[in-house]
Amino acid sequence: MIDWVTGKFWITHNPEVLRSGQSIRTKIVDGVEIIEYDIANRLSIKGSHDANITIRSLTDNTVEISGNPAKFLQGHNVFGTNDLKYLVAKMIDKLCMLDELELKPTDIEYENIQSGIYQLSRVDVNEHFGFPSAQIARSWLRAAGNSANMKFRGAGLFKEGTLYFTPKSRRFVPKIYFKYDEIHSKDKSHRLPDELLQIPELVQYAEKSLRFEIKILSTQLNEWCLHLGCNWDNSTATMLINDQFISKLQLSANMPIENEVIESLPKNLRLTYTAWVNGEDLRQVLSRPTFYRYRTRLMEYGIDISIVKDIEKEQSNVVPMIRYLEAVPMGIPDWAYSKGLVA
């Protein structure tokens, strides 16, 4: 999804209306105080469920808009569209409906916005990858924090539950985190509104997934020719996550299954798992239909009971880390449309 946009847009407006004070910096030159810069502060605009977008006037027909358009429109950013042009156009439509802002785009300016003719200086994109349970998602993230590297960027930095790669980069910053923790955060800027936390499907979506995200800054947007909105299409965000992040991740071969995950298995699966760990050939123990039924269910946890374990050579409770990233990203669930959770 498109998670953050900062851009410069050509929209006729009244600059005085968009002022929220001025930031002025001066310096002394030859004993004389001169203004080094004088720029309008950003005006904060509340959207759905008090999510904010900021806007400021740059010239009489140029504004800078910054924020999370999905959250501004939907009230949340657990999931959302990959269509940047659609999302930005809908965000600006909503801003133009606020009479107090006095945004008055001409017909040509409006057509340009719909076509993506504007300059971008920051875009955040992300995809969610699903896991069988919250415990496994947490285990994967901790294992990656201990062992993951990224090609040309080195080892990740695991800090406060988020795995960053080159967090101080002025080009782009990839990171992985557990969205479930963020939507329950004490920080109101990240926490979901209480009424949305009452939607069990929304909470479960975040609970069983990890978010892979890239913050892309101006220099890199220019280098990738993505500084213009018109150069984005519906596949760009997913392409960036796959090509610039997932494909460059270097993961250890396996991750441990933690005891609480094993304990959470239904009793029949736990007994089957224990027998497999102890080296039993379950084809010889279970009926054919039962064997394949249990195998299908345990494969969700990365456990393949069709491979008889050599208990002398193998650690018992490991699954391949890359397996969870081979699936198609989760995207927008069908139920979200009927619940009015999609912009």
Does residue 217 share a domain with residue 98?
A: yes
Residue 323 lies in a domain: no
Does residue 62 share a domain with residue 94?
A: yes
Residue 325 lies in a domain: no
Does residue 205 share a domain with residue 279?
A: no
pLDDT at 264: 74
Residues 174-178, mean pLDDT to the nearest whole number: 95
Does residue 311 share a domain with residue 217?
A: no
Sign of CA dihedral 276, 299, 146, 191: negative
Asked whether 124 and 4 are in contact (CB, 8 A), the reply is: yes
What confidence tens digit (pLDDT) does each residue in 278-295 have?
A: 788 888 889 999 999 988
What confidence tens digit (pLDDT) does each residue in 181-201 have?
A: 989 888 877 888 889 999 999
Task: Give the predicted TM-score (pTM) of the model.
Answer: 0.78
Does residue 242 share a domain with residue 154?
A: yes
Report the alpha-carbon angle 74-78-80, nearest 5.
Answer: 60
Higher local confidence (pLDDT), 303 or 18: 18
Residues 160-172, mean pLDDT to the nearest whole number: 93
Nearest to 74 by CA among 183, 177, 187, 196: 196
Residue 242 lies in a domain: yes
Q: Could you tell me the residue range of the domain that residue 20 belongs to?
A: 2-26+35-252+331-338
Does residue 289 share a domain with residue 239?
A: no
pLDDT at 39: 64
Residue found by looking up tokens 């600006």 in the block: 92
Asked whether 13 and 103 are in contact (CB, 8 A), the reply is: yes
Does residue 82 share a domain with residue 14?
A: yes
What confidence tens digit (pLDDT) does each residue in 85-95 have?
A: 999 999 999 99
pLDDT at 256: 56
pLDDT at 303: 73
pLDDT at 313: 46
pLDDT at 221: 98
pLDDT band at 305 (very low <50, low <70, confident <90, very high): confident
pLDDT at 251: 79
pLDDT at 325: 81
Residue 322 lies in a domain: no
Domain count for the chain, please give it. Answer: 2
pLDDT at 226: 98
What confidence tens digit (pLDDT) does each residue in 5-14 have?
A: 999 999 999 9
Does residue 178 share a domain with residue 284?
A: no
Does residue 299 share a domain with residue 212?
A: no
pLDDT at 281: 86
